[in-house]
């Protein structure tokens, strides 16, 4: 039997890691609910212009800080009326569409900065793990040093001096979030190198690229995927943190941090302007945490 | 023990140096300076201002000067807040920030440990799930969401607890009056309570399943004594190494909390200084923060080594 034929037989008979993981994930109700809610928010963000009659930058001085029509505790405040489902902000702009545009920014920051951190972290960690020895020790000492820096302060300085350059924010946040990723990947690679099944595969004549593809990558991907789902919310948080301090995205574009900051400024007269962005942001963060926990349970081989 | 402490203290110097260097050059990379204004000043006045603050020298020379002054704990004059040195500003703000942070740390440890133990003793029962859900909420909700929402509920609407109408001040410090501290300390401590509770629950469950606890039970020790005298000590050990990250988290949170509640601590100086390009003030505060994080990491290491007999100092 040739090696290729043998591999197909094994593949048909065995239950792969991914099938198992998917089965476990589908049984986790919190994670599934998280995926569903997140998908809804993401879809709403993508189709935001189609969902509302208003544009995110439409200023309307006849509806300044007005409550949505269905808001129950609004004696003596104006009603936004019509299709302002979430009311209006202090410039009369529709909050529903602004919350969704905030979702666009927050989610895309989350994804892009996480990708940046993924590439740096996986590359750095894999090199350190494969190289081993002195280079590994040196590279990891460097990570230790960076770990002890209060980097959010450095990001604040960066954003302040570069005049809130949005593109730079992606890079800056991504560039400080890769540290844990590199440690995870390095640890996995280092321990995998010594495993018997790698040796067995080598002895059976599997090529180096085959070993990496069929044995190393699937074993590293699990923890990396889990950590990615946990990096996205922390990146969203970092962006909103900067925006809240007034160092993030610029008007008239918006993000959840900006909306929450504006809502907090007028929470006494217009609590809905604080409530809706907070609700969307909290829901998103919870979803990512549930999905991350679910994936960890699903992909952790120790539980099998 | 002493050698270990000295070695760790020495290893903090390159970290601090790296932070100073990074922060110094980052501030200077960008165009614009602290004395730019909408009104164009005559060039000779601009030159004089630059000379007065030594901004006319080459940047590397300024860096060396700064390091030399720093060696004498002199942070220099503030560029924006006239007539104040950075040291004076930090001396004004630091006690306020310290009081806030220390109170939050105490609250976080007290409530976090209590919640974690309560959850561990009811493992996989409703009480456990409720406690962990609470911890999850604390960890997930960011400070800038909880701060305004709690202010709205307790500061503006007011609540009635046990027949007492309660409305807390929404801002200001009043020299750290209790009423003024409740909201900021709660907001600052919430995420840390969640993290500490999770940490303690995990280690407590592990300890409760270990052999020495079973032995203590087997010899007939009452349940509460097993927990207080045997399990608790071992279970709280991981908490010690969380001290450093906890302080870093509190410092980050204090930027938001000081801003939302209008508390005159150093967090506010930092954000305002960064926006105004007040180079010396920002550097001074960053060094201050970094020193705290490093000090608490060091303290955690030393405490851990002192408490855990398995750790040896000689390495």
- Kindly state whether B286 is in contact with chain A, defined as any CB-CB distance less than 8 angstroms: yes
Is residue A299 within 8 Å of A226, Cβ to Cβ? yes
Selecting from A162, A274, A289 the residue whose C-beta is nearest the C-beta of B136 gives A289
A285 neighbourhood in chain B, CB within 8 Å: 140-142
Contact (CB<8Å) A157/B252: no
DSSP A254-287: --HHHHHHHHHHTTTT-THHHHHHHHHHHHHHHH
- Residue predicted with more confidence, A149 or B146: B146
- Kindly state whether B30 is in contact with chain A, defined as any CB-CB distance less than 8 angstroms: yes
Stretch A139-153: mean pLDDT:
76
Q: Which helix (H) or strand (E) is B117 found in, with range?
A: helix B86-121
- Kindly state whether A135 is in contact with chain B, defined as any CB-CB distance less than 8 angstroms: no
Nearest-angstrom CA–CA distance, B189 and B105:
7
Is residue B200 within 8 Å of B236, Cβ to Cβ? yes
Stretch B87-91: mean pLDDT:
87
**How many Cβ atoms from other residues are within 10 Å of residue A235's Cβ?**
23
Q: Is the pLDDT of residue B158 over 90?
A: no
Per-residue confidence band for B188, with pLDDT thresholds at 50, 70 and 90: very high
pLDDT of residue B36: 65
What residue of B is the nearest CA neighbor of A241?
Answer: B144
Q: What is the pLDDT of residues A47-90, one digit of tens each?
A: 988 888 788 877 777 777 788 877 777 666 777 777 788 888 88
Which residue, among B21, B135, B144, would best test binding to A if mutated, counting the most A CBs under 10 Å from its CB? B144
Strand partners for A221: none
Q: What is the pLDDT of residues A229-262, one digit of tens each?
A: 888 988 888 888 888 888 877 777 888 989 998 8
DSSP alpha helix (H) spans, chain A: 3-13, 17-27, 29-46, 48-51, 95-131, 133-147, 151-161, 166-176, 178-193, 196-203, 208-211, 217-244, 256-265, 272-299
- φ/ψ of residue B141, rounded to 5: -70, 125
Strand partners for B77: B85
Q: What percent of chain A has pLDDT over 90?
A: 13
Q: What percent of chain A has pLDDT over 70?
A: 90
CA distance B145 to chain A (A): 6
Selecting from A161, A247, A274 the residue whose C-beta is nearest the C-beta of B26 gives A161
Nearest-angstrom CA–CA distance, B76 and B237:
41
3 state SS of B210: coil
Per-residue confidence band for B71, with pLDDT thresholds at 50, 70 and 90: confident
Selecting from A163, A244, A286 the residue whose C-beta is nearest the C-beta of B140 gives A286
pLDDT of residue B35: 67
Distances, alpha carbon A131 to alpha carbons A140, A180, A214, A245, B181, in Å: 12, 19, 20, 42, 52
Per-residue confidence band for B184, with pLDDT thresholds at 50, 70 and 90: very high
Cis-peptide, bond into residue B13, ω within 30° of zero: no
A268 neighbourhood in chain B, CB within 8 Å: 152, 156
The rounded mean pLDDT for chain B is 83
Nearest-angstrom CA–CA distance, B192 and B198:
10
A263 neighbourhood in chain B, CB within 8 Å: 148
Residue B3 makes CB contacts below 8 A (sequence gap 6+) with: B313, B314
Contact (CB<8Å) A247/B274: yes
Task: Provide the number of CB pairs (under 8 Å) joining chain A to chain B.
Answer: 112
Nearest-angstrom CA–CA distance, B275 and B272:
5
3 state SS of B221: coil
Selecting from B22, B27, B152 the residue whose C-beta is nearest the C-beta of A161 gives B27
Is residue A102 within 8 Å of A254, Cβ to Cβ? yes
What residue of B is the nearest CA neighbor of A154?
Answer: B23
CA distance A234 to chain B (A): 9
The rounded mean pLDDT for chain A is 82
- Kindly state whether B95 is in contact with chain A, defined as any CB-CB distance less than 8 angstroms: no
B141 neighbourhood in chain A, CB within 8 Å: 282, 285
Q: Is the pLDDT of residue A303 over 60?
A: no
Per-residue confidence band for A42, with pLDDT thresholds at 50, 70 and 90: very high
Nearest to A70 by CA among A263, A275, A265, A255: A275
Q: Is the pLDDT of residue B74 over 50?
A: yes
- φ/ψ of residue A66, rounded to 5: -100, 145
Stretch B215-221: mean pLDDT:
90
- φ/ψ of residue B159, rounded to 5: -125, 160
A237 neighbourhood in chain B, CB within 8 Å: 142
Judge if pTM exceeds 0.80. Answer: yes
Is residue B285 within 8 Å of B269, Cβ to Cβ? yes
pLDDT of residue B107: 95
A152 neighbourhood in chain B, CB within 8 Å: 252
Q: Is the pLDDT of residue A301 over 60?
A: no
Contact (CB<8Å) B145/A260: yes
Selecting from A152, A157, A289 the residue whose C-beta is nearest the C-beta of B252 gives A152
Q: In the Cβ-directed half-sphere of A162, how many Cα atoms lie within 13 Å?
A: 19
Q: Is the pLDDT of residue A162 over 50?
A: yes
Contact (CB<8Å) B141/A282: yes
pLDDT of residue B39: 64
- Kindly state whether B167 is in contact with chain A, defined as any CB-CB distance less than 8 angstroms: no
Residue B1 makes CB contacts below 8 A (sequence gap 6+) with: B305, B306, B313
Q: Is the pLDDT of residue B201 over 60?
A: yes
Strands B164-166 and B159-161: antiparallel
Q: What is the pLDDT of residues A112-126, one digit of tens each?
A: 889 888 988 888 888
Residue A152 makes CB contacts below 8 A (sequence gap 6+) with: A176, A238, A241, B252
Nearest to B143 by CA among B107, B171, B183: B183
- Kindly state whether B27 is in contact with chain A, defined as any CB-CB distance less than 8 angstroms: yes
A155 neighbourhood in chain B, CB within 8 Å: none
Nearest-angstrom CA–CA distance, B18 and B21:
5
A159 neighbourhood in chain B, CB within 8 Å: 274
**How many Cβ atoms from other residues are within 10 Å of residue B10's Cβ?**
9
CB crowding A222-233: b at 16 or more within 10 Å, else e:
bbbbbbbbbbbb
Q: What is the pLDDT of residues A200-225, one digit of tens each?
A: 888 898 887 787 778 877 788 888 88
CA distance B216 to chain A (A): 30
Interface of B with A in 247-276 (CB under 8 A): 248, 251-252, 255-256, 259-260, 270-271, 274-275
- Kindly state whether A252 is in contact with chain B, defined as any CB-CB distance less than 8 angstroms: no
pLDDT of residue A8: 56
- Kindly state whether A96 is in contact with chain B, defined as any CB-CB distance less than 8 angstroms: no
């Amino acid at each position: 039997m040739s090696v290729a034929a043998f591999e197909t037989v094994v593949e048909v008979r065995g239950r792969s890691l991914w099938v198992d993981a998917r089965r476990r994930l589908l049984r986790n109700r919190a994670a599934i609910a998280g995926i569903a809610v997140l998908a809804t928010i993401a879809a709403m963000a993508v189709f935001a212009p189609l969902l509302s009659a208003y544009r995110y930058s439409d200023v309307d001085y006849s509806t300044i800080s007005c409550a949505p029509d269905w808001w129950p505790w609004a004696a003596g405040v104006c009603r936004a009326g019509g299709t302002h489902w979430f009311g209006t902000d202090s410039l009369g702009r529709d909050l529903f569409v602004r919350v969704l545009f905030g979702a666009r920014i927050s989610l895309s920051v989350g994804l892009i900065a996480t990708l940046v951190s993924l590439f740096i972290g996986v590359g750095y960690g894999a090199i350190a793990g494969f190289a081993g020895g002195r280079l590994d020790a040196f590279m990891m000492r460097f990570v230790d040093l960076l770990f002890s820096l209060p980097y959010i302060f450095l990001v604040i300085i960066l954003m302040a001096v570069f005049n809130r350059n949005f593109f730079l924010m992606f890079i800056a946040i991504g560039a400080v979030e890769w540290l844990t990723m590199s440690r995870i990947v390095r640890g996995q690679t280092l321990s995998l190198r010594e495993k018997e099944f790698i040796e067995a595969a080598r002895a059976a004549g599997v090529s180096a690229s085959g070993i990496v593809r069929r044995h190393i990558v699937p074993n590293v991907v699990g923890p990396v995927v889990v950590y990615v789902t946990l990096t996205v919310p922390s990146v969203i948080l970092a962006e909103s943190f900067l925006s809240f301090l007034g160092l993030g995205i610029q008007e008239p574009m918006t993000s959840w941090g900006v909306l929450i900051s504006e809502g907090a400024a007028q929470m006494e007269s217009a609590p809905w302007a604080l409530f809706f962005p907070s609700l969307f942001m909290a829901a998103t963060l919870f979803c990512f945490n549930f999905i991350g926990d679910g994936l960890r349970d699903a992909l952790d081989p120790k539980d099998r | 023990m002493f050698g270990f402490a000295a070695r760790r203290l020495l290893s903090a110097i390159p970290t601090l140096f790296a932070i100073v260097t990074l922060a110094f050059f980052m501030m200077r990379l960008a165009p614009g300076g602290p004395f730019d204004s909408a009104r164009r000043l005559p060039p000779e006045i601009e030159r004089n201002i630059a000379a007065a603050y030594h901004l006319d020298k080459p940047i590397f020379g300024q860096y060396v000067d700064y390091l030399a002054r720093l060696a004498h704990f002199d942070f220099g004059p503030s560029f924006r807040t006239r007539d104040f040195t950075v040291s004076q500003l930090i001396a004004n703000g630091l006690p306020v920030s310290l009081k806030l942070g220390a109170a939050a740390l105490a609250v976080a440890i007290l409530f976090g440990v209590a919640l974690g133990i309560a959850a561990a003793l009811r493992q996989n029962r409703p009480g456990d799930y409720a406690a962990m859900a609470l911890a999850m909420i604390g960890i997930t909700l960011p400070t800038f969401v909880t701060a305004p929402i709690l202010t709205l509920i307790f500061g503006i609407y007011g609540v009635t607890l046990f027949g007492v109408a309660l409305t807390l001040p929404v801002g200001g410090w009043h020299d750290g009056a209790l009423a003024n501290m409740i909201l900021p300390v709660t907001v600052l401590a919430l995420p840390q309570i969640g993290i500490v509770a999770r940490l303690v629950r995990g280690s407590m469950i592990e300890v409760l399943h270990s052999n020495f606890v079973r032995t203590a039970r087997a010899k007939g020790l009452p349940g509460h004594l097993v927990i207080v005298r045997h399990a608790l000590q071992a279970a709280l050990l991981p908490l010690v190494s969380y001290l450093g990250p906890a302080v870093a988290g509190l410092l980050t949170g204090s930027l938001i909390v000081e801003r939302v509640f209008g508390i005159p601590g150093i967090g506010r100086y930092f954000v305002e200084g960064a926006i105004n390009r007040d180079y010396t003030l920002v550097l001074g505060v960053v060094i201050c923060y970094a020193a705290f994080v490093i000090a608490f990491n060091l303290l955690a290491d030393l405490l851990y080594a002192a408490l855990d007999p398995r750790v040896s100092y000689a390495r």
